[in-house]
Amino acid sequence: SSTQPCNLHRQTLAVEWPYCDSVTFNLGTVIGCHLSNRSIHQLLLFFSPTPNSDYGFERQSDGGCTAAFWFVPSSVSRDCTTGDSFLNTTGYRKALSNNCTAGTLGKYRLRRQRCPHQAPRGLQLVTSEGTLTATLGDNVTFLVFLEEGDGSTTSITVDFGDGTAISYANISSIEDGVKHTYSKVGIYQVAAMALNSLGSESVLLYLHVTCTLEQVQLSAPSVVVRNKAVSLSTVLKPSYVGTVTYYWWFNNHTEPVVTLVGGMSFTFYKEGTHTVTVQVSVGNTVLQDKITVAVYEYFRSHVLAFSSNLDAFNPGVAEWRQDISRVVKDSMIQVTGINGEQLLVSVLPGLPTAAELCLLPEKRSTEGTMNRKGTHLEQVMSPLVDTSESGHNGAAVIMLVSVVFVGLAVFVIYKFKR
């Protein structure tokens, strides 16, 4: 009912026209806005579907209305310059209505008051995109907002966190934002400070600057022993792209293992073939790589080394390593006569070019049987064994095929496939 305080909320278009000398309230659908020239403008009213208090006020148990804890009735726009005056509706600046009229209507009428000199309050710092990430080399626009304080006399300083900062005499100078470009990837602490003669306020923002991730490469042994931890690692291109999150997926598990570093240890408890997938997330980019790991109860392996001349033909891509592995495996089968299903050759990433040769157990074979075949393999290749301890932690290093045969042959294969 219209006789009770906090009655049906009526909001008017006068929210955009706070220039009335006085306001005439009617219980109908129009009110009169009295200007200095005594003309009256008819303004339509909009009715809320539910009873409520005016903006910023709450109904109390006694039926009256008081300001909510978050509402400051005396707040003034930062555009109110010291020495000027403004029309203060004491809480009804956003909605002119006949709410809370139980003996208090006069209290909330428009009043002309002088703009107070205030310390800065409610300083906010955001990016124009509303995100906390940026791409290396792109312009980043920072927006600075001040809820309270004299905008004309409050200076603003923005520190971009990379050793550069910029100051403005007043906040009106940066209404379109402050642009900056970062030259290195990383996490930057961006700070803004508002300052006038009555005080200051600061705010921080942590910005993640990244560059575009081009390639991710997952590295792990191709064959591992059951119940023994194995190391998994990744190589990114470019090597440093900023803040990176790694998602590790094992077989068909529905939940990944999440890390902030590009390596981890994992133990396989079942024999067989297992798939490992790593997804690398940088900014808005997600790339992945996948490998297959064979798990056995036991197996034998050798580290294989090539002449250093082969390094000149190594482009550092997975396809090239796969080609080398196939050529080496075929050569080993021809030399030793061992079943191809028992040999697994994997060229390792990086330089110098090296590979791992694994002798896998046959189905229904015993460890003793595999040892005999492994001994035969070493005897056949004994003229090629280098017993020196150089570059491979003392492991047996087998000098396979000449650079002329393997290097040129595989290089031609790789070029032809491309």
Paired tokens of 365:
């074979």
CATH of domain 214-297: 2.60.40.2470
Residue 255 has a pLDDT of: 92
Residue 48 has a pLDDT of: 35
Residue 335 has a pLDDT of: 83
Residue 83 has a pLDDT of: 60
Instruction: Check if the beta carbon of residue 95 is closer than 8 Å to that of residue 110.
Output: no
CA distance between the termini of the chain: 83
> Going residue by residue through the chain (418 aa), what tens digit of pLDDT does each one get?
333 334 333 333 333 334 444 444 433 333 344 444 333 333 333 333 334 455 567 777 776 777 777 766 555 555 666 666 666 654 443 344 545 544 444 555 566 767 767 888 889 999 999 999 999 999 999 999 988 877 778 899 999 999 999 999 888 788 889 999 999 999 999 999 999 888 999 999 999 999 999 999 998 888 999 999 999 999 999 988 988 999 999 998 889 999 999 999 999 999 999 999 999 999 889 999 999 999 999 888 888 888 888 888 888 887 888 898 899 888 888 888 888 888 888 888 788 888 888 888 876 555 555 555 556 555 555 444 444 444 443 333 444 444 434 554 555 555 555 5
- How many angstroms separate the CA atoms of 29 and 42, rounded? 10
Which run of H or of E encompasses 128? none
Closest CA relative to residue 342, chosen from 326, 328, 363, 324: 363
Residue 136 has a pLDDT of: 92
Closest CA relative to residue 230, chosen from 216, 217, 247, 218: 218
Residue 367 has a pLDDT of: 53
226 — phi, psi (to 5°)? -60, 140
- How many angstroms separate the CA atoms of 189 and 204, rounded? 7
pTM (2 decimals)? 0.58
Radius of gyration of the chain (CA): 38
Calculate the CA 44 to chain-centre distance: 48
DSSP codes of every residue in 392-411 = STT--EEE-S-HHHHHHHHH
- How many angstroms separate the CA atoms of 324 and 366, rounded? 30
Q: Which of 1.10.645.10, 3.40.50.2000, 2.60.40.10, 2.60.40.2220 is the CATH number of 121-210? A: 2.60.40.10
